[in-house]
Structure 1
Amino acid sequence: MHYEFIQPTIAQRERAQHCVYPPRFDADTNEFYYSVPLLESAINTNDRDNTVNRPHQSAVACSLWDRLAATDVNEYKVSTKNWRRPVYDIIRRHQDFGHSLLTGFLTAQRKHGYINALRDIKSADERLTARAYRFSSNDEDLCETAKAFSRKIMRKTAGVHDDEQAFSVAAELLDDLGLSFRDELIDEKRESGELRALVNRAADETWIRRQLRRRSAIELERVARDLNLVHRDASPYCSKANLHRAKYRTETNKAMLQNTVAVDESDPDNFFTLFELAAKSPSNEHIRMCEMFTRLRGFEEIAQELGHDATFITATCPSRFHAVSKRETNPKWVEAGKPTTQDAHDYLCGVWQSVRKALDKLDIKFYGMRVVEPHHDGCPHWHMLLFCEPQHTDTIIDVYRRLSLQDSPSEPGAQHRRFVVERIDWSRGSAVGYIAKYLSKNISGHHITSDKDTNLDGTDAANAVRTFARVNGLRQFQFFGGPSVTTWRELRRIRTEFKKDDAMFADLDEAQWFAVESVRRAADAGDWKAFCYAMGGVFVKRNKQLLRPHYHVPHIMDALLEEFVPKKTRFGDNATARITGLTFHSMFILTRFKTWRLESKQRYLRGHQNILTEVTDIFDVLEMEEEYRRMSDARYEELAAQVERYDDLIALALEAESAEQIAWAEASAAPPA
């Protein structure tokens, strides 16, 4: 490899926007030169213009260098000749995320100096780099890596018959990508003799691709928080890199849903695209919000009828979980080892578990909902709407406050900000109104003109909050108390009335049939209050509810079958139980009547078209036959008319001939003159 230094002209500078190597600084001439690698075969001593034929790459690397070239470091003991090179060598490896790394470096350099800033991006580079993959790679590179490792793992484990040895080989190769299976899952599969299923997963391209996307998103988000790139003045709630990736994934997922169909195995002509089915399910933002408001409204109506209290609580984490404080990196967060978003959420979950245990011992029951929402720096906090009996309100608040402030109770602002309570006065407003804003902000952003915590409008804020939850794997909304929403959804699939004379309900007396039908009618009408009452009330335990979801084949069907073989996944292990219906005492109510299979839309339509081209519809045959009959009748009438006309002509001809013969006979019989 040879290098030739060229004094760039204006045209060369324009072309250099896509060059592989950035300009180099020459201390002797105090100018920048473009260092261009030339292959041995390309060197021609008689033609020095061969340097124009240089390899190309995306403009990302050159744009990174442009930003560096436009920046100066006026810092003591920092050489102005070569400070850009170490920075560029790190950030250029990470493609589009390199701009985020550069922003983090420049911010840290202004506040903490060049050496500390360089140390920060070096640490970020190490975290983003596995032995065989960089988590900052774009989705195209990610898919290629997944394909290559899928084939590699398949090839390495194909001839290994021992499951333990095959799993060891697969786990070692996955480690090169920074991936691994959970220890609990490994122990579970080893005990059940299904360790080979993990090997099959490791060799599956789709599984690797999914795991890489999940791990990449988490690592990018953690690095962005560490570099102070997630806060009110930069990118609130979530990093820009993950926002762009989430937007891209939404578009590609939409295309995938539109190009995949679910086909009814009993009626292949009955099919829907997954996009159509998603629009009818709670994954639809509008349906999800309507369902949550319906349930909350039902809880509120029950609370008002029973005289229960409503309390709105906000619980936050101690200061050490917040990455930013007063627009600067929080020193307590750094001292604590930079806790992640998952660490903060685990803390809130731990406090809540302690609260529930304490209240269970006191036999205090409650119902309501909690919403997980991020601070501008990506640290989660909880909003909770609690309903309970009036005599238990103070106890619940005292227990929750005490357990929330056990950790760092004396830090500034802890007593006023870590646990905030607002008692709801029924005479002044609705309890649902207190949490409606948070539901909208976490789903669609509709009816929110601007986010008061940031400079974002309602829609952008909702996108950032949703991306925050998806990247970190957090459950945004959770109801507690009340009957099973799964039963509610299954009953809403049944639009026909439960008739008493139905064979399914033959063993039920009139009161039992009325109870089951009352639950179905409440669900069908979308009346959560009536549904709760029919199921046993808001404080009913799961095993005491009138109807319960059924997740496997009924025992009576197992007895009828000579041998029950559990369904296998495509990886070879037993499939997880899927809901098939509901149970009432010992009676099974079927709610899933069809079996669907997924198929490519193009393949399905192509196969369907092939069938149609070979088979003529019976109705078309009948229609053609009827047309032939109509044509035959018309032709018959036409021919009959022609025959009749012919007969008339013959008759006329015969009459004319007879008259002529008579006239001739008369003329020939006359005597000669």
Structure 2
Amino acid sequence: MIRESNEAWAVRQVVDLPPRWRGRLLGNWRAACASFDRSKVTGEGDALRRANAGLLMALASLSTAPLALDASDIDVCAAAEKYAEQCRKTAEETQHIGRDATRAELERFCITAGINAPGADMEQEPAILRMQCHLWWRRQLRRAMSRAVEGSAIGLGYVHKGGDCYVSDESVMHRLQQNARNAEMLESTIARNELGQEFTLAELAAKSPANKSVRRAELMTRINGFERIAIDMKHAGVFFTLTAPSRMHAYRTINGKPVRNRKYDGTKPNEAQAHHTKTWARIRAALARRGVRIYGFRIAEPNHDGTPHWHVLVFCKPDELAILKSTVYKYALAVDGDEAGARKHRVDWKPMDPAKGTAAGYIAKYVAKNIDGYRLDKDMYGNDAIQTSQRVEAWATRWRIRQFQQIGGPPVTVWRELRRVQSVPADAPGFVVSAHNAVNKIAVIEGRENASVAWDRYVAAQGGVFCGRGYRVRLATVAAEGATRYGEERAPKVIGITFNEEYKVRDARGNWTDVREMQTIVESKRFEWEILRPASSNAFAVSYAGSDSTPTTVRDAEGFSGFERAQRASWTCVNNCTESGEFKPEGIPTTFGRLSEAAYEACSGAVVAAFNEWVRRNGREGGGIESAGGAGTGGSQAASAVRPDGRAKTDGIASKHH
């Protein structure tokens, strides 16, 4: 029997870690092994034992992960397919003993695989179908892996301002790669509406809050609107920061340098966020009991070690500020409030002073820092603002933390839906006209008061900043057809806005007898969108040798060069290659919409092979379909070049003018 060397043992312990972590841990282990007193006989052995113990202690700080910590997204997708298939087999094997037993077996398998099974509050069939779906498994594994990797980075001491600020470099790179994949997909996919208009998904996304600049502008519009309301109502503003107890911080700062916090109890950022959420719920409940009403915004952002803290900007009556302050301090210090420095550092209270600037101007830097770094050079730790915003975004997505939340006022969903409404009835109530004018950028005409796009005007039209759930203009919805992939009822479909208006009832003699309410629905401008095949791809292209033998991609600036209209790939789920004398793949289904992935890839490979054979027979050299793996490979890459995606038909994308 060959005995394993110490070096081989150490390498085996860290083999599943990301390369950077593996290198550092092995480096620390080798340094610990070499640091011993050579004058002692047992010095080398003692150093080796200390090094081994230190390595095992470091590994013990790693979070539990369902896969290896260095697993790529491809590994996650492959594991999702594997686990879903195993669940399908288990469901088939246990169907004779009842659905309760089937669900119990599948839940045990989920726990074994390292993820949470669907909750007990979920109905039987939807839960079972979820555990047999590779998409559900993919989401669960990605979430579990994200938290495991980042939790391990915190446990190993990588996340702090002296190392990886806010979030680990591994998470930042993963997020950048994900954003790049998403951007490429949006740029290469075309949506076509019933009017024949075509846009890339990137063009449509650029006009929605998915665009960072649009998101930032909307947030600042709403914050500025709340401040205008406060000025009109002579309310006072206050800006305060809520910080988590010290035991929730992995690092503390001494003389500007990060130092391991001995009090740290292993609390992860999502758990610290839950602590803030609970604290804020208690604050709001206590204020409501005392009749104190507030409105404004809160922003969650990370400390340098990833622990979240909250910035809160709220407005209230001036004589209620004292109650607000005492209530905030009371509940912020309810947990470990007696520790040293708690009252000084747990709450940072700053009343707004108009002489020093507007509240919206003060909070603008926090909004920009957490979105795109707009007009910022450095963060508080001296890091580049653009890089900081990228790291903050990676942090928020890793831990699934909601960064911005409105406090009080009517909902923003109606505000956005009103922008899709082209016009309201001429006889609509005044508050509906005012709300519509406030969101649709109508210019001021001869000084008439129907103009500027302004959150404060919208809030007033909805019943005021303290309208609560009694706002006047609401979303109009209808029941959605069909069921989800898990057999559940679909969420109601938004079709526009609705409001109630009063009308008088006359009797036979013409006398007013009653006043009743009538509900009116105004539909918004929406399109039915058909998702076409990818516009272009860097990995593969459909090439055709024309007179100049210049290959062209599937779609360029001038259109689909080299192919007649009937020869182009279908933008529906039907194959258009049916004209006489043209390419006709024999024995191949003309629709891919409902095929399984395996069947789809097999058919796709057959299409590629058949098309290339047709090109060869017709003497059109160089006109075949090529993929990264060679012409006619039949794999998923070749499939992506010709796949007509007829399954993705949606109607919720805003039109271009939105």
Shared fold by TM > 0.5? yes
Deviation of residue 106 (structure 1)? Answer: 5.6
- Whole-Å Cα distance in 2 between the matches of residues 255 and 344 of structure 1? 35
- Whole-Å Cα distance in 2 between the matches of residues 410 and 400 of structure 1? 16
Q: Does the CA contact (< 8 Å) of 1:104 and 1:228 recur in 2?
A: no
What residue number does 1:400 align with? Answer: 328
1:143-222 maps to which residues of 2 (within 5 A)? 143-158=77-92, 160-161=94-95, 162-183=98-119, 186-189=120-123, 195-222=124-151
Amino acid of the structure 2 residue aligned with 1:328: V
Deviation of residue 103 (structure 1)? Answer: 7.3
Pair 204,236 (structure 1): closer, same or farther in 2 beyond 3 Å? same
The residue matched to 1:579 in structure 2 has which SS? strand
Q: Deviations over 1:441-476 (max 9, x none)?
A: 1001121211222x4200111111111111011000
What residue number does 1:504 align with? Answer: none
What residue number does 1:231 align with? Answer: 160
- Whole-Å Cα distance in 2 between the matches of residues 104 and 171 of structure 1? 41
Correspondence for 1:93 among 13, 16, 38 = 16
Deviation of residue 332 (structure 1)? Answer: 0.8
The residue matched to 2:438 in structure 1 has which SS? helix
The residue matched to 1:383 in structure 2 has which SS? strand
1:454-465 maps to which residues of 2 (within 5 A)? 455-465=382-392
Give the length in aligned residue pairs.
499
Q: Does the CA contact (< 8 Å) of 1:372 and 1:476 recur in 2?
A: yes
Pair 354,208 (structure 1): closer, same or farther in 2 beyond 3 Å? same
Deviation of residue 129 (structure 1)? Answer: 4.7
What residue number does 2:241 align with? Answer: 314
Q: Does the CA contact (< 8 Å) of 1:90 and 1:121 recur in 2?
A: no
Q: Does 1:413 align with 2:341?
A: yes
Amino acid of the structure 1 residue aligned with 2:263: K
Q: Does 1:546 align with 2:476?
A: no
Amino acid of the structure 1 residue aligned with 2:437: R
Correspondence for 2:496 among 570, 578, 581 = 581
Pair 295,177 (structure 1): closer, same or farther in 2 beyond 3 Å? same
Q: Does 1:138 align with 2:72?
A: yes
Q: Does the CA contact (< 8 Å) of 1:315 and 1:419 recur in 2?
A: yes
Deviation of residue 499 (structure 1)? Answer: 3.5
Q: Does the CA contact (< 8 Å) of 1:104 and 1:227 recur in 2?
A: no
- Would you tell me which structure has more helix in proportion to its own residues? 1
Q: Deviations over 1:59-79 (max 9, x none)?
A: xxxxxxxxxxxxxxxxxxxxx
Q: Deviations over 1:486-527 (max 9, x none)?
A: 110001112x33232xxxxxxxxx4x5332111111111221
Q: Does the CA contact (< 8 Å) of 2:65 and 2:144 recur in 1?
A: no
1:231-630 maps to which residues of 2 (within 5 A)? 231-264=160-193, 266=194, 269-326=196-253, 327-333=258-264, 336=265, 338-453=266-381, 455-494=382-421, 496-500=422-426, 510=427, 512-525=428-441, 526-542=453-469, 544-553=470-479, 567-585=482-500, 586-591=519-524, 593-598=526-531, 600-601=533-534, 606-608=569-571
Deviation of residue 608 (structure 1)? Answer: 4.4
1:79-118 maps to which residues of 2 (within 5 A)? 83-96=6-19, 98-99=21-22, 102=25, 114-118=51-55
The residue matched to 1:372 in structure 2 has which SS? strand
Pair 150,323 (structure 1): closer, same or farther in 2 beyond 3 Å? same
Q: Does the CA contact (< 8 Å) of 1:536 and 1:545 recur in 2?
A: yes
The residue matched to 1:445 in structure 2 has which SS? coil
Pair 100,576 (structure 1): closer, same or farther in 2 beyond 3 Å? farther
Q: Greater CA deviation, 482-491 or 420-429?
A: 420-429
Q: Does the CA contact (< 8 Å) of 1:136 and 1:216 recur in 2?
A: no
The residue matched to 1:332 in structure 2 has which SS? coil
Amino acid of the structure 2 residue aligned with 1:595: E
What residue number does 1:71 align with? Answer: none
Unaligned 5+ segments in structure 2 are: 36-46, 442-452, 501-518, 536-553, 556-567, 581-658
The residue matched to 1:438 in structure 2 has which SS? helix
Q: Does the CA contact (< 8 Å) of 1:260 and 1:598 recur in 2?
A: yes
The residue matched to 2:456 in structure 1 has which SS? helix
Q: Does the CA contact (< 8 Å) of 1:109 and 1:116 recur in 2?
A: no
Q: Does the CA contact (< 8 Å) of 2:125 and 2:487 recur in 1?
A: yes
Q: Deviations over 1:227-278 (max 9, x none)?
A: 11100111010011111111111111222223444443x45x3443322222
- Whole-Å Cα distance in 2 between the matches of residues 254 and 427 of structure 1? 44
Pair 258,225 (structure 1): closer, same or farther in 2 beyond 3 Å? same
Q: Greater CA deviation, 220-229 or 207-216?
A: 207-216
Q: Does the CA contact (< 8 Å) of 2:16 and 2:69 recur in 1?
A: no
**Taking structure 1 as the reference length, what is the TM-score of the superposition?**
0.69
Q: Does the CA contact (< 8 Å) of 1:371 and 1:476 recur in 2?
A: yes
The residue matched to 2:415 in structure 1 has which SS? helix
Pair 98,580 (structure 1): closer, same or farther in 2 beyond 3 Å? same
Pair 321,590 (structure 1): closer, same or farther in 2 beyond 3 Å? same
- CA root-mean-square deviation: 3.0
Q: Which has the larger radius of gyration?
A: 1
Q: Deviations over 1:270-312 (max 9, x none)?
A: 4433222221110110000000011111111111121111111
Q: Does the CA contact (< 8 Å) of 1:260 and 1:600 recur in 2?
A: yes
1:42-121 maps to which residues of 2 (within 5 A)? 83-96=6-19, 98-99=21-22, 102=25, 114-121=51-58
Q: Deviations over 1:90-131 (max 9, x none)?
A: 111235364376279569969995244222233256x4454x
- Whole-Å Cα distance in 1 between the matches of residues 259 and 29 of structure 2? 14
Amino acid of the structure 1 residue aligned with 2:570: G
The residue matched to 1:236 in structure 2 has which SS? coil
Q: Greater CA deviation, 596-605 or 250-259?
A: 596-605
Kindly, what percent of the aligned residue pairs are identical?
28
Q: Deviations over 1:345-390 (max 9, x none)?
A: 1111111111101110011111000000111011110001111111
- Whole-Å Cα distance in 1 between the matches of residues 23 and 236 of structure 2? 48
Q: Deviations over 1:394-448 (max 9, x none)?
A: 1111110121112222322212111111111113311112111111110011212
Deviation of residue 566 (structure 1)? Answer: 5.2
**Taking structure 2 as the reference length, what is the TM-score of the superposition?**
0.70
- Whole-Å Cα distance in 1 between the matches of residues 292 and 440 of structure 2? 32
- Whole-Å Cα distance in 2 between the matches of residues 283 and 106 of structure 1? 46
Q: Does the CA contact (< 8 Å) of 2:377 and 2:385 recur in 1?
A: yes
Amino acid of the structure 2 residue aligned with 1:514: G
- Whole-Å Cα distance in 2 between the matches of residues 178 and 105 of structure 1? 30
Deviation of residue 87 (structure 1)? Answer: 2.2
Q: Greater CA deviation, 155-164 or 430-439?
A: 155-164
The residue matched to 1:331 in structure 2 has which SS? coil
